[in-house]
Structure 1
Amino acid sequence: MLNLNSLARRISLPLWFLSCVVSVMAQTAEKPVRAVTDPGVVTTRQTITPAGVQAVFHGRVYGLTFGASSSEVWVLNAQQGNNQAQIFRFDWAANKVLERIPIGNRPGLQGIQYDRAADRVLIGATLQGPAGAEAKNRTRLMAIEKGTSRILADNMGSHITGALAIASKPNSQGQRLAVVPLIYDNRLAIVDLNNNQLLGKVATGIAPFGASIDSTGTVAYVTNWGGRVPQPNDSTLPTGFDPKADQVVVDERGIASTGTVTRIDLISRQATHTIPVELHPTAIVWDEQHNRLYVANGNKDSVSIIDTTRNNVIETITIQPFQQRVAGIAPTALAVSADGSTLYVACGGINAVAVIDTGSRKVQGLVPTAWYPNALSISADGKQLAVSTLLGAGSGWRDDPAKRFVHAYRGSISVVPVPDEAQLDGYTTAVAENNHLTIGPAQPQLQPQAARDVAPMAIPRRAGEPSLIEHVVYIIKENRTYDQLLGDMTKGNGDPSLVMFGEDVTPNHHRLADQFVLLDNFYATGGNSGDGHQWATQANETAYCLWPGYLGRSYPFDGSDPIAYADSGFIWDAALRMKRTVRVYGEYAGRLRENDPQQRAKLLERWKSGDDFTRDWNITAPLKPLNKILAANYPSYTQAIPDVVRAQIFLADLKRWEGEGRMPNLVVLQLPSDHTRGATPDFNTAKAMVADNDLALGQIVESLSKTPFWRKMAIFVVEDDAQNGVDHVDGHRTVALAVSPYTRRGHVDSTFYSQPSILKTIELILGLPTMSLFDLIANDMRGSFTNAPDFMPYAAQQPKQSLFETNPQLNALRGQARRAALDSLRMRFDVPDAVPTERLNRILWHQVKGWKTPYPGAKQGVFAPLAVDLEDDERGAAEDR
C-alpha cells in the first residue's frame, strides 16, 4: 500500500470505486428497502459517500460486531431517545434481517461484542424505569442467544456502560471473564461468564470508556475519558454541580487536560498502572501477539501505542492526513488485522476509516463512511470491515418526509471488503473531496496567509487582513426551527403551516430578516443544548457530548463539565490569544436555581415599572477562566428571568461603553427565553415567552444601531439548536440573523450556512485562527455582506402578543389541555432539554394551534437526557395521534 505522501502525488482515481448498495431498514425489520427516499442534511457541510454495502436504521447505531460467519453482523440500535435498545442479527450480503431482539434498555457505548466461545452476543446496557423506581439507571451485562435476551450480571453500577471486552479462555482460576467499563461509577466491572457472577469492581481513572482484555482473562486495560485522578496541587474543576461530583484535572482554559489508561490485574482485582496518553482516550484494541495496545485519543486526533510488557507509551501516531492541519478528526473506534500489520481507525470528524500500516506507523489511506463512524469490526476471515455510524444518513423518515425533526435519527452500518491499493487510493480521494480538503503532508503555503496592503473589506478574504468591522455581537438563543418563526415570510423557503410564533409574536425577528438579510438555508449543527452550545462556540463537538457519555454527571450546555469541551477551545479563547477584547453575558455561566414559581411574573412587573436590575445578580461561572471576561451581573440560564430584564442589564453596559468611547471587539450574549415552559399552569405561555425574547432582541439591536460603534459593527443571532419543533426542509434548520450596516439589505441568502459559518465569519472579521476542521471548511457569510454600508439604525417593534399572558390554572382545565398542564408540571425546566422533547413539542403545538390541529411531527424521536418518565412521553404521543 502507498502512504499518503506518495498518494498525494498520484492522479486522483474516479469515484466509481464507491459503488454503494443502500438499504433502509423498516421499523418492522422484515422488509428492508433499497433506497434512502428522504436524504438528510449533513450540517457540517461534508458530503457522505459510504463505501461498501450500507444499511440504514431508524434510531442511532451504537455498535456492531461480526458473528459466526463473515456474512453475519450483529447491530446495536437504539430508539426513543437512545433509551430503547434492540439487537439486529443481519445477513448483510443478502440484505436480510435474521433476528430482531428488543431489550428495552439504554445501550452501552460501543456496548456489543461477539462471544465466539459461546456463540452469542454480549451487550452492556442500563435498565430504564419510571421516575423514583428502584430499578432506574441500573447497569447490567446481557447475553443475546437463541433469539432471546437474558441478564448475566445485574446492578453493576449506574447510568451508563462503555465498550466491554471478553476473554476467549479461562484464566488460572478457571474463570472466563468479561469486563465492562462503568462510565459514571469510575469502575471496571469484572464478571465470571461461567457462573454469571459479578466478581468485583476495580477503581479506574475518571469516566472509563473502553476496555481490552487478554485472551486468558488475566489482565485488562481501560481508557479514561476524563484522565487521571487529581493530585493535591492540580488545577481541577467538577464534572457537574453535584457537591460530590468528580474533580477533573484542567488547563488554564478550564478544559480537561489529561487522558490515561488503567492496567488492572484481574486475578488480584487491583489497578497496577496508570499510563498517560493523550486527551479523551476512547477505543482500545490489543494486538496481543505483538504486545501492542492501541488507544484512540479523540480530543487529540491521535493513536497512542502502549508496550504491554513495559506498560508505557512507545509512540503516538498523529492522524492528520490532509495538507491542511485541523482539529476535529476525532478517532472513535479501532480494529486490528489478525496478523497485526494493519490498524483501522474510525474517524468520526471526517466520516472515514483511516488505514494505518503498523510497521511504518503511517496512514496509508482513508475509507469513506456515513456520518460519524463509531464502531468497527473485522470478519474472522479478515476480508470484510464493518463500520457503524451514529448519525448515518442524517435526520429523516421513511414516510411523510416533509415534516422533519432533529431527533429522527438514522444511524447506519456499512460492510466494506478490505480494499487493495488501487481501491484505497480512490476511497482516499473521495474522503478528501467529501471534506473539502487536500490529501498529503502538511503544506504551510496552503494555510491562509494574510495579504499585505489590501483594502479593508467587511468580510476579509483571509484572517488578519483589515476589516471594516471592529465589533461583533454574537447572540445565542434556544431551540427554534426556521419554519416555527419565519416560515410565513413569502420571500424565503418556508412552510406557513408550521409557523407557531409568527409576526404577531416575533415582529423583530421578521423585521430584521426582512430589512437586513433573510437566511433560509441555515442549520444548527448539533441536535440539543448539550452539544449545540459547543458547536455555537467551539465549531466542534467531543464524543463525550455526542454519544453522549455525560449521563448522570452533567448536562454540559452551561460550562459545568470540563470533559465535554474540545481541546481547540472556545471562540473567546481564540479572540483573547489574538489580543482582542471580549465580554460574555450568560453563555457558559452555569444556571440559576429557581426557588420561587412566581419569580418571572414578579420580575416582569418590576420591569414594567422601570426598576433597575443591574445589581440583582452576581454570577460565578463554573468554567473558572471565563470569570475574567464574564458580566457577573447578567443572569445565567434560567426560564424564570425574562429576556427583557437581561436586555436592560446589557444596555446599561452599552451606555457605559458609549461614555468611555470603547466597546469590546467580541460580545457573546445569551437570550434563552424562547425555550419556553410548555403548559405549566400560571406560568407565561409559550407565545409570551417567545415575544419576550423577540422584544429583548429588538431592543438590543436598536440600541446598538444608535451608538457610534454601529458604523463598525456586525450582530449575529442564532439558536443553539432546533430540536423544539419541526421544519419542512430539515430538523436542524434554524433561525439565524446577520445585522450590520454592511449587510446586503433586503437580500435573501440561500447559501448553505451553519453555526461554524458564523464562527468562521467572526474569525475573518477579528483576525482569529480557525478552531477546528468544521470552521475551516464552513462557508463564510460574505454572501450576506457588502462593502458599501447603510448606517440607518433599526427601530424595535413591540410584539402584539402580550409578554404577561399566562397559562390557565390547573383547576380550569379539562381533557388534553389538563393532561398537558400536568405533564408540564412534572417536567424539569431549570435545565434545557431536561424534558421529553417530543412531548413538549406536541404540547407547544397544540397550545398555539389548538387541540384539534394534528401535530405534524416526529415518530420515534425523543431526546430527554434528564427526563422524568419516557414512558409517559410515549403515552402522550400515542394519545395525541
Structure 2
Amino acid sequence: MSYRAVLLLVLTSLALAQQPVRNVTDPGVITTRQAISPAGVQSVFEGRVYGAAFAGSTNEIWVLAAREAVLLDWRRNAVRQRATQDGLPGLQGVMFDAASGAPLMTGTRKGSPAAVSRLATVRGGAPVILADGIGQYNAGAPHAGLKPNRAGQRLAAVPLIYNNRVALFDLEAGRSAGEAPAGIAPFAVAVSEASDVAYVTNWGGRVPLAGEPTAPTGLQPNADRVVIDSRGVAASGTVTRIDLVEKRATGQINVGLQPTGLAWDQPRHRLYVANSNGDSVSVIDTRRDAVVATFALQPFGTPVSGIAPTAVAVSPDGATLYVTCGGINAIAVLDAQRGTQRGLIPTAWYPNSVSLSPDGTHLAVTTLLGVGSGFQNEPARRFVHAYRGSVAVIALPDEAQLLQYTAAVAENNRMPMQPAQTARRRAKPAPKAIPVEHGDPSLIEHVVYIIKENRTYDQVFGDLTEGNGEPSFVMFGEDVAPNHRKLAREFVLLDNFYATGGNSGDGHQWVTQANETAYPLWPGYQGRSYPFDGTDPIAYSQSGFIWDGVARVGRSVRVYGEFVGRMADPPSSARMGLLREWEKGADFSSRWTVRSDIPPLNSMLAAYFPSYTNAIPDVARAQILLKDIARWTQEGKMPNFVIVQLPCDHTYGTAPNLSTPKAMVADNDLAMGQLVEALSKSPFWKKMAIFVVEDDAQNGVDHVDGHRTVALAISPYTRRGTVDSTFYAQQSMVKTIELILGAPPMTLFDRIATDMRASFTDTPDATPYSHVKPKQDLFEANPPLNALRGQAKRDAQASAKMRWEVPDAAPSDQLNRILWRAVMGADRPFPGVRRAVFAPLAIDLEDDERE
C-alpha cells in the first residue's frame, strides 16, 4: 500500500488553524428549557464534538470534532496539531494509546456501495490510516491493550455498529487481526491491558430467543430483529465478552437498556457500564462475568426518565465514578462501591464522553451540542444544524465546590434535589382548559395533533407584523399558505416556538415521546434505518409514547399515519394523477393499507390512511379523515386523541415534472385548512383543541434560531387574536396535551417544559373556522429538464437524484438552497448560514449534510 493510500488526515499549520473559542457572543437556544453553566475551562468548536482523551499529560488533550482531530493545549486554548478529516468521526471515537504515545481514532468515509469504517492514528506528526474498510457505516468507541497477548498481538478493537462485529488490529505488526462477533449494534469496547479479553456494549442487546416478541431494526429484508416489550420498545441491552486470542464471543451479560460507554477497573475486576436508555450504571464482576450491582441514576428529588448516562470514568483508586449524563447536562459523581451520589458537575449541552487525566486531578468532558446552535458571521441568519459542540477540562472539585456545582445542576434542570412534599389531598378542582396538575379535569375532551415536516417560522410567518419575524425570509406567504396565516391571526400566533428535533429521525421522537435516546441523536442507526417512521425499536425511549400514557388513563386514541412503517409507495410520478383524482372527488378511504411494528399503535391505527410519502397529496389524506369526521358526527362519538401526519410541506425540490415547492406547501396548507374547518363545524368542537407542529425545522433559515418553527393552537378556548411569545418547544405541546387528557409526564423534558396555558382561556368562543383556498395552483409542476439552463438545470438534476421516499435523505443544505432559488429567485443571495457536519442517513462526501 502506498503512503498516499494510507493518509486519512491532513495536518495544517497552526497559523492556518481555526481556533476553538472560549466564549460565544451568540448565546444560542437550548430548546429543552434547561440552562447551561458549564464548569471548568471551555473550548467551543464549530460542529459537534464526539470525544476527547488526555494526551499522556494533564496539559494536552486530543479532541475529535466534526471535521478534525486537534491536539489542544487546553490551558492556553492553543491548537498544537490539527488533523483534518475527509469523512465523519466515530462516535466517542478517540482514545489515547499510552503504549505508542499517539491517539487512536475511528471514523467513516464514503465508500461503494456503502460508507466504510476505519481506524487511524497520528505518528511522529504524520497522520495514518491503520485499517480502512473494516466495516460499513458508523464505528464506535475504540480501545487498545497495553501489552501483547500470548499470540504476540497488542490489539486495538473497534465496534462496528452496523455489522454487529468488533474489528481487531494488531498495533505491533501494523495489520488487521480479524474480527469477533458481538451483539446487536455494538457501540463501545474495553480491552484488557494484556490484549486477551474485551468487553463490548450492545445497544440492541442479544439475539432474540424463539417465541419472544420482536421487531425489525429497519426495512431491509435481513434487518436484525430485537426483543421488544409490550409497548414496542427495545427490551434488551447486553455486554459481550470476547476472547481476543480465539477471536470469539465467550459470554453475554444482560445489563440496562442501550448500554453506551464503559470503564474497566481491572485491578478490582469491576466493569462499569453506562445504560443510556436505562438511566443506570451496571457493575460487572469480570471474574464471574455477572452483574453484581445496578446503580440507578436518579439525581433529583423526583424520579424522572431521560437522565441518559453516556460515558463513565473511574478514579485511580477505584473509589469514585464520573458518569456523563446527556439528559441533564451534568457529570454524576458516584461512590463506586455503593452507587450513592456524591454530587453533580454542570456541563454544556449533552455531554457524551469523559476522560480522566493521568494524574487523576482533572476531567475532560465533551458535549455533542455544546452551547446550542448559533452563528459564525451572520447573527441574523440561523440554521438548525449550526452546532457548536465543546470540550471542557474540569479540576476535580472539593466537597464544598461539589455542593455548589450540584445546586447549579438542579437549578439548570428546574428540578429540586429534595423529594416533593406530599400535599394534603385537595378537593377536586373545577375544570380548566389547561389543568394545573396532571389528572385534574379539563374543559377539553378531544385533542387533534397534526404533525408536519420541516418549515421554520420565518419561512411562513416572517412577514406577519404582529410577531417577531423577518419578512425577507418568507418563502411561503399569503398566496401559498393562507390557512396557516389565517389560523395564526384568528387564534394565536406563536412566535417563540421551537422544534427540539434537528431532523425527522430526531423530531418524530420528540413529538411522540418528549425525549430522544443516544441511538437517533448521535446517530447510531446508519445503514439500519431512519427512525422517523416507527421501524426501529432501538430508537425509542424507555418511557414509551404519548399514546401509551393517554390510553392508560382510559382515553381513546386514533392514529393517522404517524410512526407507521413505510408502505409500498406509489412512485413520485403518481402524485399528479392522484391530485386529478382528488379534484374529481375520488374516494381514497380504501386505497391503501398500512401497519405498525409497535403493537399498541397497530391497534390504534387508521390502517387505510397512508404513511409518509410525498407521492400522495395531503388533500387526499384529508379526504380520508374528512370522511371519518362525518362518520363520528353521525355516530355522536369521536376519539379523545387523534394524531394526524400531513408531510407534503417537505417538497420534492425542483425535480423535473414533479410538483413545485409552492404547490406542495399549498397542498399541505389546504388539507390542514379543510380539516380544521370540518372539525370546527362538528358537534365536538366545543370541547376540542387542535395542535399543529412541524417535526423539525431543518429545511430553512430563521433570524432568531434555526429550531424556531411553525406551530398552531386552535380551539374555542384559545385566546383569539393574540400573540403568545412565551418560550415553547415541542415538549411544551406534548405536556399541554397530557394535561388536557390526564396523562402523566413521560420524561424530564415534558415535566419541566412550559405548558401552553398562556395561549388559552377558560371562556370559550366556538366560532367555527372557514378555510381559504390558496391562490397557488396545486397542479403546478417543475419544468422538464430540457427546458432548463444553467443553475436551474443543475438544481433540477440534483433534485432528481435525491431520495424522496424518506424525509431528510435529501442533503438539507443543498435542498434549502434549491428551494430558495426556486421560490425567491436565483439572483437573490441565499442567507449566509454557518455549516456544520451532519449526516442523518449516510455518508456522501459530495452531497453530505454540511450545514
Distance in 2, Cα, partners of 1:681 & 1:873: 22
Q: Does 1:303 align with 2:291?
A: no
Distance in 1, Cα, partners of 2:133 & 2:659: 42
SS at 1:155 equivalent: strand
Q: 1:804 matched to which residue of 2?
A: 779
Q: 2:59 matched to which residue of 1?
A: 71
Q: 1:439 matched to which residue of 2?
A: 417
Distance in 1, Cα, partners of 2:770 & 2:495: 23
Distance in 2, Cα, partners of 1:260 & 1:69: 34
TM-score scaled to structure 1, two decimals?
Answer: 0.93
Q: 2:168 matched to which residue of 1?
A: 190
Distance in 2, Cα, partners of 1:601 & 1:513: 30
Q: 2:135 matched to which residue of 1?
A: 157
User: Cα distance, 1:33 vs. partner?
Assistant: 4.5
Question: Do the aligned residues in 2 keep the contact of 1:835 with 1:867 (CA within 8 Å)?
Answer: no
Q: 1:316 matched to which residue of 2?
A: 294
Question: Do the aligned residues in 2 keep the contact of 1:833 with 1:863 (CA within 8 Å)?
Answer: no
SS at 1:607 equivalent: helix
Q: 2:271 matched to which residue of 1?
A: 293
Q: 2:198 matched to which residue of 1?
A: 220
Q: Does 1:361 align with 2:339?
A: yes
Within 5 A, what are the aligned runs for 1:756-767?
756-767=731-742
Quick one: which amino acid aligns to residue 31 of structure 2? Answer: T
SS at 1:708 equivalent: coil
Q: 1:576 matched to which residue of 2?
A: 551
Quick one: which amino acid aligns to residue 86 of structure 1? Answer: E
User: Cα distance, 1:772 vs. partner?
Assistant: 0.1
Quick one: which amino acid aligns to residue 518 of structure 2? Answer: A
- Residues 590 and 540 of structure 1, relative CA distance in 2, 3 Å threshold: same
Deviates more, 1:394-403 or 1:375-384: 394-403
User: Cα distance, 1:162 vs. partner?
Assistant: 0.8
Q: Does 1:785 align with 2:760?
A: yes
Distance in 2, Cα, partners of 1:35 & 1:201: 44
Quick one: which amino acid aligns to residue 825 of structure 2? Answer: G
Superposition RMSD on alpha carbons, in Å? 1.6
Quick one: which amino acid aligns to residue 199 of structure 1? Answer: A
Pick from 415, 431, 434: which aligns with 2:393?
A: 415
Unaligned runs of 5+ in 2: 1-13
Quick one: which amino acid aligns to residue 187 of structure 1? Answer: R
Distance in 2, Cα, partners of 1:194 & 1:218: 15
Deviates more, 1:154-163 or 1:317-326: 154-163
1:504-542 Cα distance to aligned partner (Å, 9 max, x none):
111000010000000000000110000100000100000
SS at 1:323 equivalent: coil
Pick from 96, 110, 115: which aligns with 1:128?
A: 110
Q: 2:607 matched to which residue of 1?
A: 632
User: Cα distance, 1:647 vs. partner?
Assistant: 0.4
- Residues 611 and 294 of structure 1, relative CA distance in 2, 3 Å threshold: same
1:373-414 Cα distance to aligned partner (Å, 9 max, x none):
000001101111110000001111221111000011111000
Quick one: which amino acid aligns to residue 381 of structure 2? Answer: K
Question: Do the aligned residues in 1 keep the contact of 2:73 with 2:80 (CA within 8 Å)?
Answer: yes
Distance in 2, Cα, partners of 1:346 & 1:374: 6
1:817-843 Cα distance to aligned partner (Å, 9 max, x none):
000000000000100000111000000
Pick from 48, 51, 58: which aligns with 2:39?
A: 51
Q: 1:147 matched to which residue of 2?
A: 125
Unaligned runs of 5+ in 1: 1-25, 79-84
User: Cα distance, 1:597 vs. partner?
Assistant: 3.7
Q: 1:738 matched to which residue of 2?
A: 713
Q: 2:483 matched to which residue of 1?
A: 508
Q: Does 1:846 align with 2:821?
A: yes
Question: Do the aligned residues in 2 keep the contact of 1:835 with 1:864 (CA within 8 Å)?
Answer: no
User: Cα distance, 1:450 vs. partner?
Assistant: 8.1
Q: 1:338 matched to which residue of 2?
A: 316
User: Cα distance, 1:170 vs. partner?
Assistant: 1.5
- Residues 151 and 679 of structure 1, relative CA distance in 2, 3 Å threshold: same
- Residues 710 and 44 of structure 1, relative CA distance in 2, 3 Å threshold: same
Q: 1:16 matched to which residue of 2?
A: none
Report runs of 4+ in structure 1 exceeding 6 Å deviation.
none
Within 5 A, what are the aligned runs for 1:32-47?
32-47=20-35
Q: 2:6 matched to which residue of 1?
A: none
Pick from 99, 102, 110: which aligns with 2:81?
A: 99
1:584-620 Cα distance to aligned partner (Å, 9 max, x none):
0000112234453421000000010111111101111
User: Cα distance, 1:197 vs. partner?
Assistant: 2.1
Q: Does 1:620 align with 2:566?
A: no
Pick from 385, 388, 405: which aligns with 2:383?
A: 405
Question: Do the aligned residues in 1 keep the contact of 2:110 with 2:844 (CA within 8 Å)?
Answer: no
Distance in 1, Cα, partners of 2:173 & 2:558: 60
Q: 1:375 matched to which residue of 2?
A: 353
Distance in 1, Cα, partners of 2:356 & 2:102: 17
Quick one: which amino acid aligns to residue 735 of structure 1? Answer: V
Q: 1:60 matched to which residue of 2?
A: 48
Distance in 2, Cα, partners of 1:240 & 1:27: 46
1:347-375 Cα distance to aligned partner (Å, 9 max, x none):
00000000001133201100000000000
Deviates more, 1:860-869 or 1:572-581: 860-869
Q: 2:213 matched to which residue of 1?
A: 235
Deviates more, 1:610-619 or 1:861-870: 861-870
Quick one: which amino acid aligns to residue 727 of structure 1? Answer: D
Question: Do the aligned residues in 2 keep the contact of 1:835 with 1:868 (CA within 8 Å)?
Answer: no
- Residues 285 and 34 of structure 1, relative CA distance in 2, 3 Å threshold: closer
Distance in 1, Cα, partners of 2:545 & 2:675: 24
Deviates more, 1:172-181 or 1:283-292: 172-181
Quick one: which amino acid aligns to residue 542 of structure 2? Answer: D
Quick one: which amino acid aligns to residue 654 of structure 1? Answer: I
Question: Do the aligned residues in 2 keep the contact of 1:835 with 1:866 (CA within 8 Å)?
Answer: no
Distance in 2, Cα, partners of 1:506 & 1:28: 47
Distance in 1, Cα, partners of 2:625 & 2:122: 57
1:839-872 Cα distance to aligned partner (Å, 9 max, x none):
0000000100110000004232454433684414
User: Cα distance, 1:444 vs. partner?
Assistant: 6.5
SS at 1:190 equivalent: strand
SS at 1:783 equivalent: helix
User: Cα distance, 1:28 vs. partner?
Assistant: 5.2
Identity %: 61
Quick one: which amino acid aligns to residue 657 of structure 1? Answer: W
User: Cα distance, 1:103 vs. partner?
Assistant: 2.4
Q: Does 1:694 align with 2:669?
A: yes
SS at 1:601 equivalent: helix
1:674-693 Cα distance to aligned partner (Å, 9 max, x none):
00010001100000000000
Distance in 2, Cα, partners of 1:523 & 1:27: 39
Pick from 585, 610, 617: which aligns with 1:610?
A: 585
Distance in 2, Cα, partners of 1:353 & 1:385: 10
User: Cα distance, 1:48 vs. partner?
Assistant: 0.8
Q: How many residues align?
A: 838
User: Cα distance, 1:144 vs. partner?
Assistant: 1.6
Q: 1:116 matched to which residue of 2?
A: 98
Question: Do the aligned residues in 2 keep the contact of 1:838 with 1:863 (CA within 8 Å)?
Answer: no
Quick one: which amino acid aligns to residue 49 of structure 1? Answer: S
1:760-794 Cα distance to aligned partner (Å, 9 max, x none):
10111011010000000000000000000001000
- Residues 586 and 682 of structure 1, relative CA distance in 2, 3 Å threshold: same
Q: Does 1:856 align with 2:816?
A: no
TM-score scaled to structure 2, two decimals?
Answer: 0.97
- Residues 652 and 712 of structure 1, relative CA distance in 2, 3 Å threshold: same
Distance in 1, Cα, partners of 2:334 & 2:841: 40
Distance in 2, Cα, partners of 1:409 & 1:836: 16
Within 5 A, what are the aligned runs for 1:540-559?
540-559=515-534
Distance in 2, Cα, partners of 1:34 & 1:385: 17
Distance in 2, Cα, partners of 1:834 & 1:486: 26
SS at 1:163 equivalent: coil
Within 5 A, what are the aligned runs for 1:643-654?
643-654=618-629
Distance in 2, Cα, partners of 1:514 & 1:815: 40
Q: 1:655 matched to which residue of 2?
A: 630
Q: 2:71 matched to which residue of 1?
A: 89
SS at 2:136 equivalent: coil
